[in-house]
Amino acid sequence: MEKEAVLKVSNLNVFYKNRKRKLFTPKKLKKIQALYDVSFEVEEGEVLAIAGESGCGKSTLARAIVGINKDYSGTIWQKYADPQMVFQDPYNSLNPAKKVGWLLEEPLKVDKSRKWTKDERKKRVEEIMKEIELPLNMLERYPSQLSGGQRQRVCIGIALMRNPKLLIADEPVSALDVTIQAQIMELLRNLHKKLGISIIFISHDLRVVYQISDHVMVMRYGKVVEYGKTKDVYKNPQAEYTRQLLKAAGIVKKETEL
Protein backbone atom coordinates (compact mmCIF):
# COMPACT_ATOMS: atom_id res chain seq x y z
CA MET A 1 0.00 0.00 0.00
CA GLU A 2 2.59 2.47 -1.12
CA LYS A 3 0.99 5.90 -1.24
CA GLU A 4 2.06 8.82 -3.31
CA ALA A 5 4.38 11.38 -1.79
CA VAL A 6 3.34 15.02 -1.42
CA LEU A 7 6.73 16.20 -0.28
CA LYS A 8 10.16 14.83 -1.00
CA VAL A 9 13.13 16.38 0.69
CA SER A 10 16.57 15.11 -0.22
CA ASN A 11 20.03 16.09 0.96
CA LEU A 12 18.80 19.33 2.42
CA ASN A 13 21.41 21.63 3.86
CA VAL A 14 20.15 24.87 5.33
CA PHE A 15 22.22 27.89 6.22
CA TYR A 16 21.73 30.95 8.32
CA LYS A 17 23.47 34.23 7.92
CA ASN A 18 26.12 34.79 10.50
CA ARG A 19 24.78 37.92 12.10
CA LYS A 20 28.03 38.78 13.78
CA ARG A 21 29.86 39.12 10.51
CA LYS A 22 31.55 42.33 9.57
CA LEU A 23 31.50 43.82 6.10
CA PHE A 24 34.66 42.03 5.01
CA THR A 25 34.78 38.69 6.79
CA PRO A 26 36.04 35.65 4.90
CA LYS A 27 33.36 33.94 2.88
CA LYS A 28 33.24 30.73 4.86
CA LEU A 29 32.33 32.60 8.03
CA LYS A 30 29.36 34.29 6.44
CA LYS A 31 27.00 31.40 6.98
CA ILE A 32 26.16 29.02 9.73
CA GLN A 33 24.89 25.61 8.74
CA ALA A 34 21.80 24.51 10.59
CA LEU A 35 20.80 21.28 8.81
CA TYR A 36 23.00 18.54 7.42
CA ASP A 37 21.79 16.24 4.63
CA VAL A 38 18.21 15.82 5.72
CA SER A 39 16.13 13.53 3.51
CA PHE A 40 12.60 12.29 3.98
CA GLU A 41 9.22 11.94 2.31
CA VAL A 42 5.72 12.75 3.35
CA GLU A 43 2.96 10.59 1.93
CA GLU A 44 -0.43 11.85 0.89
CA GLY A 45 -2.68 12.24 3.88
CA GLU A 46 -0.26 11.12 6.55
CA VAL A 47 0.96 12.80 9.70
CA LEU A 48 4.71 12.95 9.98
CA ALA A 49 6.05 13.99 13.34
CA ILE A 50 9.43 15.59 13.70
CA ALA A 51 10.79 15.31 17.21
CA GLY A 52 13.98 16.40 18.87
CA GLU A 53 15.41 18.74 21.46
CA SER A 54 15.35 22.51 21.25
CA GLY A 55 17.71 23.93 18.67
CA CYS A 56 18.08 20.73 16.70
CA GLY A 57 16.74 22.27 13.51
CA LYS A 58 13.07 21.28 13.54
CA SER A 59 11.80 24.78 12.95
CA THR A 60 14.59 25.47 10.49
CA LEU A 61 13.40 22.51 8.47
CA ALA A 62 9.84 23.78 8.53
CA ARG A 63 10.89 27.26 7.50
CA ALA A 64 12.93 25.88 4.62
CA ILE A 65 9.99 23.82 3.38
CA VAL A 66 7.54 26.71 3.35
CA GLY A 67 10.14 29.00 1.84
CA ILE A 68 10.73 31.52 4.60
CA ASN A 69 14.38 30.56 4.62
CA LYS A 70 15.50 30.34 1.03
CA ASP A 71 19.16 29.70 1.67
CA TYR A 72 19.50 25.97 1.23
CA SER A 73 21.08 23.36 -1.01
CA GLY A 74 19.47 20.08 -1.92
CA THR A 75 16.00 19.63 -3.29
CA ILE A 76 12.55 20.14 -1.87
CA TRP A 77 9.95 18.69 -4.20
CA GLN A 78 6.32 19.44 -3.55
CA LYS A 79 3.32 18.04 -5.29
CA TYR A 80 1.11 21.00 -4.43
CA ALA A 81 1.98 24.66 -4.19
CA ASP A 82 1.45 26.80 -1.12
CA PRO A 83 2.15 24.73 1.95
CA GLN A 84 0.90 26.50 5.04
CA MET A 85 2.32 26.71 8.49
CA VAL A 86 1.04 27.13 12.03
CA PHE A 87 3.56 28.81 14.26
CA GLN A 88 4.68 27.91 17.71
CA ASP A 89 3.68 30.98 19.61
CA PRO A 90 0.04 31.98 19.12
CA TYR A 91 0.73 35.24 20.96
CA ASN A 92 3.12 36.39 18.27
CA SER A 93 1.74 34.90 15.11
CA LEU A 94 -1.38 37.06 14.81
CA ASN A 95 -1.11 40.69 13.81
CA PRO A 96 -2.24 42.58 16.94
CA ALA A 97 -3.54 45.54 14.96
CA LYS A 98 -6.11 43.59 12.96
CA LYS A 99 -9.37 41.90 13.78
CA VAL A 100 -9.77 38.15 13.54
CA GLY A 101 -12.14 38.43 10.59
CA TRP A 102 -9.68 40.58 8.69
CA LEU A 103 -6.85 38.17 9.44
CA LEU A 104 -8.86 35.23 8.17
CA GLU A 105 -9.82 37.09 5.03
CA GLU A 106 -6.31 38.21 4.16
CA PRO A 107 -5.10 34.93 2.56
CA LEU A 108 -8.04 35.15 0.15
CA LYS A 109 -7.44 38.80 -0.67
CA VAL A 110 -3.85 38.16 -1.71
CA ASP A 111 -4.61 34.86 -3.46
CA LYS A 112 -2.94 35.04 -6.85
CA SER A 113 -4.52 31.91 -8.27
CA ARG A 114 -8.06 33.27 -8.30
CA LYS A 115 -10.09 36.32 -7.45
CA TRP A 116 -12.47 35.99 -4.53
CA THR A 117 -15.54 38.17 -4.44
CA LYS A 118 -16.63 39.73 -1.21
CA ASP A 119 -19.48 37.28 -0.71
CA GLU A 120 -17.28 34.29 -1.44
CA ARG A 121 -14.76 35.50 1.06
CA LYS A 122 -17.40 35.98 3.69
CA LYS A 123 -18.80 32.53 3.08
CA ARG A 124 -15.38 30.94 3.23
CA VAL A 125 -14.56 32.71 6.50
CA GLU A 126 -17.78 31.43 8.00
CA GLU A 127 -17.00 27.92 6.82
CA ILE A 128 -13.58 28.03 8.40
CA MET A 129 -14.93 29.44 11.65
CA LYS A 130 -17.14 26.38 11.81
CA GLU A 131 -14.18 24.10 11.11
CA ILE A 132 -12.07 25.61 13.87
CA GLU A 133 -15.07 25.60 16.21
CA LEU A 134 -15.18 29.29 17.07
CA PRO A 135 -18.38 31.33 17.29
CA LEU A 136 -18.90 33.87 14.51
CA ASN A 137 -19.02 36.84 16.87
CA MET A 138 -15.28 36.44 17.46
CA LEU A 139 -14.64 37.76 13.96
CA GLU A 140 -15.00 41.27 15.37
CA ARG A 141 -12.40 40.78 18.09
CA TYR A 142 -8.75 41.66 18.19
CA PRO A 143 -6.25 38.87 18.88
CA SER A 144 -5.48 40.38 22.27
CA GLN A 145 -9.06 39.66 23.30
CA LEU A 146 -8.70 35.93 22.66
CA SER A 147 -7.20 33.18 24.81
CA GLY A 148 -4.14 31.24 23.72
CA GLY A 149 -6.18 28.28 22.55
CA GLN A 150 -8.56 30.48 20.58
CA ARG A 151 -5.64 32.26 18.98
CA GLN A 152 -4.10 28.99 17.94
CA ARG A 153 -7.43 28.00 16.41
CA VAL A 154 -7.41 31.23 14.43
CA CYS A 155 -3.86 30.48 13.28
CA ILE A 156 -4.95 27.06 12.09
CA GLY A 157 -7.93 28.67 10.39
CA ILE A 158 -5.71 31.16 8.55
CA ALA A 159 -3.47 28.33 7.42
CA LEU A 160 -6.45 26.34 6.15
CA MET A 161 -8.08 29.27 4.37
CA ARG A 162 -6.90 28.37 0.88
CA ASN A 163 -7.25 24.61 1.24
CA PRO A 164 -3.59 23.64 1.46
CA LYS A 165 -2.68 20.01 0.91
CA LEU A 166 0.25 20.20 3.29
CA LEU A 167 0.15 21.80 6.70
CA ILE A 168 3.21 22.26 8.83
CA ALA A 169 2.47 22.66 12.50
CA ASP A 170 5.54 23.99 14.28
CA GLU A 171 5.02 23.08 17.93
CA PRO A 172 1.41 24.25 17.79
CA VAL A 173 0.64 23.24 21.34
CA SER A 174 3.81 23.85 23.30
CA ALA A 175 2.79 27.37 24.33
CA LEU A 176 -0.58 26.19 25.63
CA ASP A 177 -1.61 24.54 28.86
CA VAL A 178 -2.43 20.86 28.99
CA THR A 179 -6.21 20.89 28.63
CA ILE A 180 -6.07 23.35 25.74
CA GLN A 181 -3.30 21.24 24.20
CA ALA A 182 -5.66 18.30 24.15
CA GLN A 183 -8.38 20.40 22.49
CA ILE A 184 -6.05 21.67 19.79
CA MET A 185 -4.73 18.17 19.15
CA GLU A 186 -8.29 16.94 18.85
CA LEU A 187 -9.04 19.73 16.39
CA LEU A 188 -5.96 18.92 14.29
CA ARG A 189 -6.88 15.24 14.24
CA ASN A 190 -10.44 15.98 13.17
CA LEU A 191 -9.29 18.33 10.45
CA HIS A 192 -6.80 15.78 9.27
CA LYS A 193 -9.49 13.13 9.00
CA LYS A 194 -12.05 15.42 7.44
CA LEU A 195 -9.93 17.31 4.93
CA GLY A 196 -7.38 14.60 4.18
CA ILE A 197 -4.45 16.98 4.34
CA SER A 198 -0.93 15.85 5.10
CA ILE A 199 0.50 17.30 8.27
CA ILE A 200 4.07 17.69 9.38
CA PHE A 201 3.80 17.92 13.10
CA ILE A 202 6.80 19.32 14.90
CA SER A 203 7.11 18.78 18.61
CA HIS A 204 9.58 18.12 21.35
CA ASP A 205 6.97 16.29 23.38
CA LEU A 206 7.00 12.62 22.44
CA ARG A 207 3.73 11.92 24.20
CA VAL A 208 1.95 14.44 22.02
CA VAL A 209 3.69 13.01 18.96
CA TYR A 210 2.53 9.50 19.78
CA GLN A 211 -1.12 10.53 19.78
CA ILE A 212 -1.22 11.92 16.31
CA SER A 213 1.52 10.71 14.00
CA ASP A 214 1.89 7.88 11.50
CA HIS A 215 5.62 8.30 11.02
CA VAL A 216 8.12 9.91 13.28
CA MET A 217 11.49 11.45 12.52
CA VAL A 218 13.89 12.16 15.35
CA MET A 219 16.47 14.87 14.85
CA ARG A 220 19.53 16.00 16.70
CA TYR A 221 22.15 18.64 15.88
CA GLY A 222 20.60 19.21 12.45
CA LYS A 223 20.75 15.57 11.42
CA VAL A 224 18.14 12.87 11.21
CA VAL A 225 18.79 10.34 13.95
CA GLU A 226 15.94 7.96 13.38
CA TYR A 227 12.98 7.62 11.03
CA GLY A 228 10.23 5.05 11.04
CA LYS A 229 6.64 4.16 11.79
CA THR A 230 5.62 5.72 15.07
CA LYS A 231 4.72 2.42 16.70
CA ASP A 232 8.01 0.80 15.68
CA VAL A 233 10.10 3.70 16.86
CA TYR A 234 8.35 3.83 20.20
CA LYS A 235 8.44 0.07 20.77
CA ASN A 236 11.88 -0.55 19.50
CA PRO A 237 14.02 2.59 19.34
CA GLN A 238 17.22 2.07 17.41
CA ALA A 239 19.26 5.15 18.27
CA GLU A 240 20.53 5.85 21.73
CA TYR A 241 19.22 9.41 21.50
CA THR A 242 15.68 8.25 20.77
CA ARG A 243 15.82 6.00 23.83
CA GLN A 244 16.91 8.98 25.90
CA LEU A 245 14.06 11.08 24.59
CA LEU A 246 11.53 8.35 25.26
CA LYS A 247 12.87 7.93 28.73
CA ALA A 248 12.72 11.66 29.38
CA ALA A 249 9.11 11.68 28.26
CA GLY A 250 8.41 8.82 30.65
CA ILE A 251 7.17 6.58 27.87
CA VAL A 252 9.59 3.66 27.97
CA LYS A 253 8.43 2.18 31.21
CA LYS A 254 4.77 2.81 30.48
CA GLU A 255 5.04 1.05 27.16
CA THR A 256 2.57 -1.67 28.11
CA GLU A 257 -0.10 0.80 29.13
CA LEU A 258 0.03 2.54 25.81
Contact residues for another protein, defined by CB under 8 A: 66-68, 82, 84-85, 87-89, 92-98, 106-107, 110-112, 142, 144, 155, 158, 161-162
Q: How far is the CB of 95 from another protein (least distance, A)?
A: 4
Q: How far apart are CA 127 and CA 48, in angstroms?
A: 27
Of residues 93 and 213, the one with the C-beta less far from another protein: 93
Of residues 15 and 142, the one with the C-beta less far from another protein: 142
Q: How far apart are CA 42 and CA 86, in angstroms?
A: 17
Question: Which residues 6+ apart lie within 8 Å of 39 measured at CB?
Answer: 9, 10, 11, 12, 74, 224
Of residues 84 and 230, the one with the C-beta less far from another protein: 84
Of residues 8 and 98, the one with the C-beta less far from another protein: 98
Compute how many other C-beta atoms are within 10 angstroms of the C-beta atom of residue 47: 24
Q: How far is the CB of 138 from another protein (least distance, A)?
A: 15
Q: How far is the CB of 66 from another protein (least distance, A)?
A: 6
Q: How far is the CB of 16 from another protein (least distance, A)?
A: 13
Q: How far is the CB of 148 from another protein (least distance, A)?
A: 14
| Closest of 5, 21, 57 to residue 198, by C-alpha | 5
Of residues 49 and 155, the one with the C-beta less far from another protein: 155
Alpha carbon of 130 to those of 45, 74, 121, 126, 193: distances in Å? 22, 40, 14, 6, 16
Q: How far apart are CA 94 and CA 186, in angstroms?
A: 22
Alpha carbon of 22 to those of 14, 18, 75: distances in Å? 21, 9, 30
